[in-house]
């Protein structure tokens, strides 16, 4: 540590400065050089920062550079004895004489016993100094280190005079721990001042890394980030860690365990900073050390001073390692090393006082609505009753800010005999045990708790405790797919709106709105969302706001308004970036929703990976709807990517998850997707296997669970499966009858995606029955609706028959926008489809036919192809006719596309 803190051995011998104070590990500081370069005419160079920031080292560097440029250098290390005119000018005379012969002469005999401080005129003495400097024929740098010792008004006036009247070529460099009471504003305005403060002296990350490397420490990025975060560029701290690493090179991960190795830092801070302060300032610093941040009001509370803001300003002038946290310089904190030193000293002096200050801080933060800090200080005060009361009082608002993990962490420190008296803690315990208890058992436990709290009458006035229990019941109902219970519980809140905690009311309204969306009651859903939005204005956090918007997005998706859903989600995404950490679990459900939108739009890249990651971390009380839809979407993507085994595994997992939660509508949907994949297989027994799977389900029994929904999801899946099965059998009239039955289940302004799907299946049946005009009209209608809402994946799900229809329509369609949309759809088709097409090519193209199709793909006409290959026009047409037959297409455009898909055209 001496390398940073020690001064030159002899301040009167500038030639020895370099060898004494600049080591091989000295790092040139570009920021400091830039500050000096920016003020080339500066007469005063001020280095002002707390102890240990390397001010002396930079003064040495400055002196070395000046000496190399043939300047005279005079160096004074000031002490408490330097704060008299006699003491200061005696030192100055010696230093000037050492710098240049005769420069310190012609002063009165200050050492004479007849001279007293009372009859010494500092300004007159400085006039003599100025006279000698004016005679000097070379530049002069005068260094005054440790200037904080100079407080005498006479000396400060004399030094101001020196700066004002010094000749060109003279510079005064000052190093100080306290901002000097010189005429700083005047020198700054005249351009005489170059200021280098803590910000410039603080080591950057690159400088810290270079210093550690020169000390023999090559650290990985994580270890280095820990070190830099801890030292914050304080040179003495970096040196301390460097010395510690020499003895613990294999224990970098234990960097913050070196408590016993901090003795040298503590001794330095004690000797260099703390012990020199008056007792009242020492006490104030010790009291403030227990808080992570403080402002004037908190300082007044913790120190019992009259004006906390003034005390902070005094500390800032004394440069006591204060770091401002805002532009207005209202909030501050201590440097970590200094704060730890102060806390350790306070604990050692008075452990009870340490706890009492934490208690006082907790009350202040509570009264100023800063709950997180209030709880933290209650914990350190070891007041467990206060800790429990604070968690109970503000736990819900913390959850709304996405800080449920903090509530769980602090709850662990509250004994059960205390926690049982506080409802939020009781419910928090129950929440955490839902996974172990199982959903039914958790419901029973909640019902017992509600009875104990007086909820015997469903119309009884709700208390906050009862409402919190009902909110958990509502979440459990959502997980069990008991949507009617969610709506029923939301109605209880609706009838007593505004009487209880806003967070709980909004939570239950959002859950109720989501349940209405899933049941198809969109007007009821919008009503609850409106109420939730109104009540949410009373909340400071954003967690519920995020989920509220996410429910609105899901509502649009259910209506088939995918483009609107995407726009609304973009607004949500922009906000959530600033609301929550990107890795926060709070973002899981919105990210699954984002994947559902991307899937519908055919933006498949990275969606499967994101879904896998998100679905692996959702918990037992996540809404089964979003998780199930995400899982089914993942199975579709895996199937499209040719990962049949993974897709089947995901489908089986979905069926098991749905059955375990009695969410039979998703069980039915997973079975429907399974039947669809069976029918899209190439095996001869696919119809038989699909029929067996269809008959293995008791559809009517499952459907009885959803009589409350506007569109019975089980009967819908059954109808779709029967339609596809009839088409695969070739019974297209029967398929059209099924489609007519399904149309009767749809509602206006709802199920937009399913309406398009029915039209698509109908178009396929009409085509096979020979009604080409009707088929094409329906297909165009589907495409227009899909293009308007940016829907694509639905077409891919229905397989190769739809692909063939799109190929045929592409050449006939005359609307450019629709033609572009069709081409975009065809470009999305899974790669394995090309492999299936290759299997359908019964006869390979001859070598000549391959040459013809390649030239056609280059845009050549039949005549040009004939000239290129030396063939008659009729022969070219004959080759093209054979190509159409073999590729099973109807025209040149389709033939070129099919040949490209089959890899016949090369790259």
In a domain, 46, yes or no: yes
- Strand, helix or coil at 746? coil
Q: Which residue in this structure is represented by tokens 């085994």? A: 645
List the structure tokens of 423. 């409802």
Calculate the alpha carbon distances from 148 to 49, 181, 225 in Å.
11, 10, 34
In a domain, 295, yes or no: no
User: Beta 140-145 vs 72-77: how paired, if at all?
Assistant: parallel
Q: Are the CB atoms for 880 and 856 separated by under 8 Å?
A: yes
Q: Choose the final residue of a domain: 201, 216, 242.
A: 201
- Strand, helix or coil at 196? strand
Q: Are the CB atoms for 763 and 778 separated by under 8 Å?
A: yes
For the four alpha carbons of 33, 39, 44 and 49, in that order, the dihedral sign comes to: negative
Query: Strands, DSSP E only, in 146-286?
Result: 170-176, 193-196
Asked if residue 215 and residue 108 are part of one domain, the reply reads no
> Which CATH number do you get for residue 497?
1.25.40
In which order are the strands placed within the sheet that holds 72-77? 72-77, 140-145, 170-176, 44-48, 193-196
Give the pLDDT confidence score for residue 670 in this predicted structure: 93
Give the pLDDT confidence score for residue 456 in this predicted structure: 59
Calculate the alpha carbon distances from 289 to 124, 340, 730 in Å.
46, 8, 82
CA distance 865 to 853: 9
Q: Are the CB atoms for 222 and 253 separated by under 8 Å?
A: no
Q: What angle do CA 31, 34, 40 make, to 5 degrees?
A: 150
Judge if pTM exceeds 0.85. Answer: no
Question: Distance from CA of residue 319 to its chain's centroid?
Answer: 34
User: Beta 170-176 vs 44-48: how paired, if at all?
Assistant: parallel
Q: Choose the final residue of a domain: 810, 836, 862.
A: 836
Asked if residue 724 and residue 621 are part of one domain, the reply reads no
In a domain, 155, yes or no: yes
Give the pLDDT confidence score for residue 680 in this predicted structure: 87
Which residues of the chain register pLDDT less than 50?
1-24, 258-261, 832-839
In a domain, 348, yes or no: no
Q: Are the CB atoms for 622 and 479 separated by under 8 Å?
A: yes
The contacts of residue 682 (CB under 8 Å, 6+ apart) are: 836, 839
CA distance 50 to 320: 6
Question: Distance from CA of residue 427 to its chain's centroid?
Answer: 29
CA distance 597 to 548: 17
> Which CATH number do you get for residue 806?
1.25.40.10
Asked if residue 658 and residue 568 are part of one domain, the reply reads no
Give the pLDDT confidence score for residue 291 in this predicted structure: 92
Helix (H) or strand (E) segment spanning residue 510: helix 502-519
Q: Are the CB atoms for 389 and 366 separated by under 8 Å?
A: no
End-to-end CA separation in angstroms for the chain: 67
CA distance 771 to 332: 79
- For the chain, the C-alpha Rg in angstroms (whole number) is 40
Q: Which residue in this structure is represented by tokens 């639905």? A: 794
The contacts of residue 148 (CB under 8 Å, 6+ apart) are: 176, 177, 178, 180
Which of 864, 846, 847 has its CA nearest to residue 855? Answer: 864
Calculate the alpha carbon distances from 491 to 222, 237, 550, 637 in Å.
51, 60, 21, 39
Give the pLDDT confidence score for residue 110 in this predicted structure: 59
Asked if residue 162 and residue 15 are part of one domain, the reply reads yes
CA distance 569 to 588: 14
Q: Choose the final residue of a domain: 201, 219, 253.
A: 201
Phi, psi of 323 (to 5 degrees): -120, 120
Which of 3, 2, 5, 7 has its CA nearest to residue 52? Answer: 5
Eight-class DSSP state of 294:
B
Asked if residue 684 and residue 565 are part of one domain, the reply reads no
What range does the domain containing 543 cover? 418-586+602-631
List the structure tokens of 654. 């979905």
CA distance 211 to 770: 82
CA distance 769 to 230: 77
> Which CATH number do you get for residue 173?
3.40.50.300
Q: Are the CB atoms for 61 and 17 separated by under 8 Å?
A: no
Give the pLDDT confidence score for residue 841 in this predicted structure: 57
CA distance 230 to 592: 37
In a domain, 256, yes or no: yes
List the structure tokens of 280. 């009242």
CA distance 146 to 580: 47
Asked if residue 491 and residue 531 are part of one domain, the reply reads yes
Which of 23, 73, 31 has its CA nearest to residue 49? Answer: 31
Phi, psi of 173 (to 5 degrees): -110, 125
Asked if residue 146 and residue 24 are part of one domain, the reply reads yes
In a domain, 171, yes or no: yes
Burial class (CB in 10 A: 0-12, 13-18, 19+), 27: middle
Asked if residue 892 and residue 831 are part of one domain, the reply reads no
Q: Cβ–Cβ contacts within 10 Å for residue 654, how many? A: 26
Helix (H) or strand (E) segment spanning residue 811: helix 800-812
Q: Which residue in this structure is represented by tokens 């050390």? A: 289
Asked if residue 14 and residue 124 are part of one domain, the reply reads yes
Asked if residue 780 and residue 695 are part of one domain, the reply reads yes
Calculate the alpha carbon distances from 867 to 7, 83, 855, 877, 878 in Å.
94, 106, 11, 13, 15
Calculate the alpha carbon distances from 895 to 55, 243, 864 in Å.
80, 76, 18
Number of domains in the chain: 5
List the structure tokens of 318. 């004394």
In a domain, 231, yes or no: yes
Asked if residue 89 and residue 72 are part of one domain, the reply reads yes
Q: Are the CB atoms for 556 and 753 separated by under 8 Å?
A: no
Give the pLDDT confidence score for residue 20 in this predicted structure: 36
Polymer length of the chain: 907
In a domain, 613, yes or no: yes
> Which CATH number do you get for residue 859?
1.10.10.10
Phi, psi of 736 (to 5 degrees): -65, -35
Q: Which residue in this structure is represented by tokens 């009264």? A: 367
CA distance 622 to 590: 12
Asked if residue 215 and residue 188 are part of one domain, the reply reads no
């Amino acid at each position: 540590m001496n390398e940073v803190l020690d001064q030159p051995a002899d301040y009167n011998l500038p030639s020895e400065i370099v060898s004494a104070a600049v080591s091989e590990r000295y790092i040139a500081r570009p920021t400091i050089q830039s500050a000096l370069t920016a003020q080339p005419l500066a007469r005063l160079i001020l280095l002002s920062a707390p102890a240990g920031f390397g001010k002396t080292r930079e003064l040495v560097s400055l002196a070395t550079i000046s000496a190399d440029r043939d300047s005279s250098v005079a160096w004074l290390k000031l002490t408490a004895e330097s704060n008299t005119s006699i003491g200061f000018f005696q030192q100055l005379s010696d230093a000037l004489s050492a710098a240049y012969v005769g420069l310190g002469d012609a002063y009165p005999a200050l050492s004479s016993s007849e001279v007293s401080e009372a009859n010494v005129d500092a300004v007159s003495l400085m006039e003599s100094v100025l006279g000698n400097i004016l005679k000097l024929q070379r530049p002069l740098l005068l260094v005054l280190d440790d200037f904080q010792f100079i407080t005498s008004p006479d000396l400060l006036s004399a030094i101001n005079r020196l700066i004002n009247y010094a000749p060109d070529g003279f510079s005064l460099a000052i190093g100080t721990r306290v901002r000097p009471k010189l005429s700083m504003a005047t020198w700054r305005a005249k351009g005489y001042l170059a200021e280098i403060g803590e910000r410039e002296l603080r080591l950057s990350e690159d400088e810290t890394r270079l210093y550690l490397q020169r000390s023999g420490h090559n650290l990985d990025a994580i270890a280095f980030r820990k070190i830099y975060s801890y030292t914050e560029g304080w040179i003495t701290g970096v040196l301390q860690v460097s010395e510690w690493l020499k003895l613990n090179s294999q224990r970098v991960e234990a960097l913050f365990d070196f408590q016993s190795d901090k003795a040298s830092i503590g001794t330095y801070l004690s000797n260099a900073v703390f012990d020199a302060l008056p007792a009242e300032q020492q006490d104030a610093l010790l009291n403030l050390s227990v808080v992570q941040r403080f402002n004037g009001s908190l300082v007044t509370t913790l120190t019992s001073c009259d004006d906390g803001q003034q005390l902070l300003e005094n500390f800032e002038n004394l440069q006591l390692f204060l770091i401002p946290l805002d532009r207005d310089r209202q909030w501050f904190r201590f440097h970590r090393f200094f704060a730890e030193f102060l806390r350790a000293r306070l604990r050692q002096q008075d452990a009870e006082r340490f706890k009492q200050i934490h208690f006082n801080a907790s009350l202040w933060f509570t009264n100023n609505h800063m709950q997180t800090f209030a709880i933290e200080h209650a914990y350190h005060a070891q007041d467990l009753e206060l800790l429990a009361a604070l968690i109970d009082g503000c736990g819900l608002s913390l959850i709304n800010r996405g800080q449920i993990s903090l509530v769980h962490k602090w709850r662990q420190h509250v004994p059960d005999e205390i926690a049982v008296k506080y409802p939020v803690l009781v419910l928090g315990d129950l929440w955490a045990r839902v996974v172990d208890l199982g959903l039914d058992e958790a419901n029973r436990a909640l019902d017992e708790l509600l009875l104990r709290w007086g909820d015997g009458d469903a119309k009884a006035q709700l208390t906050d405790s009862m409402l919190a229990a009902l909110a958990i019941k509502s979440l459990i109902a959502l997980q069990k797919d008991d949507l009617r219970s969610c709506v029923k519980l939301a109605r209880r809140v609706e009838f007593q709106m505004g009487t209880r905690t806003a967070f709980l009311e909004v939570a239950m309204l959002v859950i109720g709105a989501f349940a209405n969306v899933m049941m198809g009651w969109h007007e009821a859903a919008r009503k609850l969302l409106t109420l939730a939005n109104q009540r949410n204005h009373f909340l400071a956090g954003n967690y519920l706001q995020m989920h509220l918007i996410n429910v609105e997005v899901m509502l649009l998706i259910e209506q088939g308004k995918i483009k609107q859903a995407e726009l609304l989600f973009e607004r949500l995404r922009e906000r959530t970036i600033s609301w929550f950490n990107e890795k926060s679990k709070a973002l899981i459900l919105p990210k699954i929703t984002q994947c559902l939108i991307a899937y519908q739009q055919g933006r498949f890249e990275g969606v499967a990976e994101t879904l896998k990651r998100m679905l692996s971390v959702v918990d037992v009380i996540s809404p089964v709807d979003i998780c199930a839809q995400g899982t089914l979407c993942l199975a579709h993507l895996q199937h499209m990517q040719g990962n049949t085994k993974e897709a089947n595994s995901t489908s089986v997992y979905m069926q098991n998850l749905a059955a375990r939660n009695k969410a039979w509508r998703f069980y039915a949907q997973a079975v429907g997707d399974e039947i669809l994949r069976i029918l899209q297989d190439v095996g001869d027994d696919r119809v038989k296997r699909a029929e067996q799977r269809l008959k293995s389900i008791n559809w009517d029994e499952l459907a009885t669970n959803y009589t409350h929904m506007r569109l019975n999801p089980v009967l819908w899946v059954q109808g779709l499966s029967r339609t596809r099965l009839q088409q695969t059998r070739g019974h297209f009239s029967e398929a059209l009858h099924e489609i007519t039955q399904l149309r009767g289940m749809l509602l206006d302004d709802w199920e937009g995606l399913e309406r398009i799907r029915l039209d698509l299946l109908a178009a396929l049946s009409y085509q096979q029955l020979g009604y080409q005009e009707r088929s094409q009209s329906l297909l165009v209608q589907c495409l227009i609706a899909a293009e308007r809402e940016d829907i694509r994946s639905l077409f891919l799900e229905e397989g190769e028959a739809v692909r063939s229809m799109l190929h045929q329509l592409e050449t006939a369609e005359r609307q450019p926008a629709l033609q572009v949309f069709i081409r975009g759809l065809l470009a999305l088709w899974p790669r394995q489809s090309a492999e299936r097409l290759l299997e359908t090519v019964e006869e390979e193209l001859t070598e000549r036919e391959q040459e013809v199709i390649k030239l056609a793909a280059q845009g050549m006409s039949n005549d040009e192809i004939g000239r290129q290959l030396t063939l008659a026009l009729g022969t070219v047409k004959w080759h093209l006719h054979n190509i159409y037959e073999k590729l099973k297409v109807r025209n040149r455009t389709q033939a070129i596309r099919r040949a490209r898909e089959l890899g016949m055209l090369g790259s």
